[in-house]
Amino acid sequence: RVLTYGQDDKLSWLLLPLLGLSIATACLTAIVYALRTPEQWNRRHNPTEAVDAPAGRTNWLTIGALVFALMYGTVGLMASLAFGFQRYFEYQIEEALKISQ
């Protein structure tokens, strides 16, 4: 939407921060899943297996996904906050200029 209508589109002011917040929420959910104990994981996702089955154990792929989710979520959240605050203050300046004229 920003590429089509430009940065002055009012709806993109709302949609881009929502996109960043949804990315941050998804990454936080991934972090919560990655930090579950093997017992919790097997109870929920492998109910037919034993509680201490190796399927729920953490490995290096889990740690890599955890680090990726933390970095990607932080970037998404900070970018959406920066864009939202920038557009808000630009809007305030535009409105102040309209009042002063």
Crossing angle for the helix pair 10-34 and 60-100, to the nearest 10 degrees = 160
Q: In the chain, what are the domain boundaries?
A: 2-100
pTM for this predicted structure: 0.69
pLDDT at 10 over 80: no
Amino acid identity for residue 56 in this structure: G
| 42/33 Cα distance (integer angstroms) | 12
Amino acid identity for residue 90 in this structure: E
Amino acid identity for residue 101 in this structure: Q
| 25/49 Cα distance (integer angstroms) | 30
pLDDT of residue 87: 83
- Are the C-beta atoms of residues 12 and 62 closer than 8 Å to each other? no
* pLDDT tens, position by position, 30-72: 889 888 888 888 888 888 888 878 877 888 888 898 999 999 9
pLDDT at 8 over 80: no
